[in-house]
Structure 1
């Protein structure tokens, strides 16, 4: 990772309106820097190098990112995001298992277990304003309403802006966005070979994941339009086994990226 998160994150300005189709700096938010409370929290979890509030939801709930593993030459930077849709609550077990285990080596890993804390609290797909966050990113965005409503404008939601700001600073080599209730690893990526590797590691089929409604404004589309890494969507089914999410998948992901405990 070329840029370390820390005090530099606070220098990002709070967002304004989109100025061009490729302008992302206008959306930047200011994630919080670590505090004494953060230090105490990370001390309770040996794998956590750094805990950070990267932004807040519509209802002012914190969006937390946990830095795990180590940095170094040849070590990949990976970001794992889950529960972008609040009613997809089981899938957060994967990043939480990575966070709560022993110290990790061999991979520079960030996990965001809950991107949509308001939706999680309300058990809804959308955020507190009824917006589907995975239709709200400013790449291929179109205005839609209803269950998959994209919001009044691109990146209108604080959760979206927080994630954009975070990813622009971390600049991961790989981004995995975990979802439910479909089943499979999406092939629509800059590097389909990466999708196939994840498919084999997690014992999931590869497929072209079908979006509900208009399939634009997704996080992976935005990431691959603005950053050089690869981003994929992984769908884990409606009722995945807890052992799969808490044990098998975390171990498989560490092996895939050269990490170990």
Structure 2
């Protein structure tokens, strides 16, 4: 099936209206765009878990605004962490890394560290993991939404590690690796306790973490638009 994209002049606004699935620490609406071709194969695509990872948010938004509503096969969250987006921080407004706050067996109290920039050799910037697993409203709302939607899989967009993190070595993970010409790996090279991927693994829910390279939003929106359009419209290899 040939997908006709919306004209570029129309892409400044969304054709599809999002729905609210929760509220952030500072009261921002947590929004998702529901699949319009909804079946047992529908997945969930998320971005913005880390508020400072803007290239993945923008490129996914551009792809979503480029397609006609009736072709959307999967649910989409453009920003899991809208407070972090506004503040320009990895963490949410409570200073918690949402990707270390999921209530799974390997969640750790006491905080974690991240790398200040890709130019720094060490991960030494301190950040919280929450008082308990699933302590943050953004984490709670995402888990509840997944329980309601029951997606067949989840794709989580991040940056800037330039790899596909897929311990299951799935067809979908291989498709992304081929599309982006980046390595398919079983882990990102360091421990990620309390991560969304760990939570999904404990639920036997396939999670493919797509790590864009360290590129600008403008570059990502151009370079990955065709790939993301194929993903959104059901053309990706998700078997």
TM-score range, shorter chain: 0.7 to 0.9
Q: 1:97 aligns with which of 62, 69, 80?
A: 62
2:195 counterpart (218, 240, 243):
218
Query: Are 1:256 and 2:221 matched, yes or no?
Result: no
- Structure 1 residues 229 and 175: alpha-carbon distance in aligned structure 2, compared to 1, 3 A threshold: same
Contact 1:136 1:160 (8 Å CA) reproduced = yes
Q: What secondary structure sits across from 1:68 in the alignment? A: coil
Match runs of 1:81-230 below 5 Å: 81-104=46-69, 108-139=73-104, 140-146=106-112, 147-189=126-168, 191-210=169-188, 214-226=191-203, 228-230=204-206
Alpha-carbon distance between aligned partners in 2 of 1:219 and 1:67, rounded to the nearest angstrom: 20
Alignment gaps of 5+ in structure 1 = 1-43
State which drifts further: 214-223 or 173-182.
214-223
Give the C-alpha shift of residue 148 in structure 1.
Answer: 4.3
Aligned pairs, number: 207
Instruction: Compute the RMSD of aligned alpha carbons.
Output: 2.2
The CA deviation string for residues 44-90 of structure 1, in whole angstroms up to 9 with x for no partner, is 644x2x52111111111111100133124xx6211110010011011
Write the deviation string for residues 187-218 of structure 1: whole angstroms up to 9, x where unpaired. 323x5343212212333321234266x41111
- Whole-angstrom distance in 2 between the partners of 1:153 and 1:60: 21
TM-score by length of 1: 0.72
Q: Secondary structure at the match of 1:235?
A: strand
Unaligned runs of 5+ in 2: 1-12, 113-125
Q: Which whole-Å CA distance do the structure 2 matches of 1:179 and 1:80 have between them?
A: 11
- Contact 2:166–2:207 at 8 Å: present in 1 too? no
Which residue does the alignment assign to 2:5? Answer: none
Question: What is the CA distance between 1:93 and its match in structure 2?
Answer: 2.1
SS state at 1:115 partner: coil
Q: TM-score, normalised by structure 2?
A: 0.78
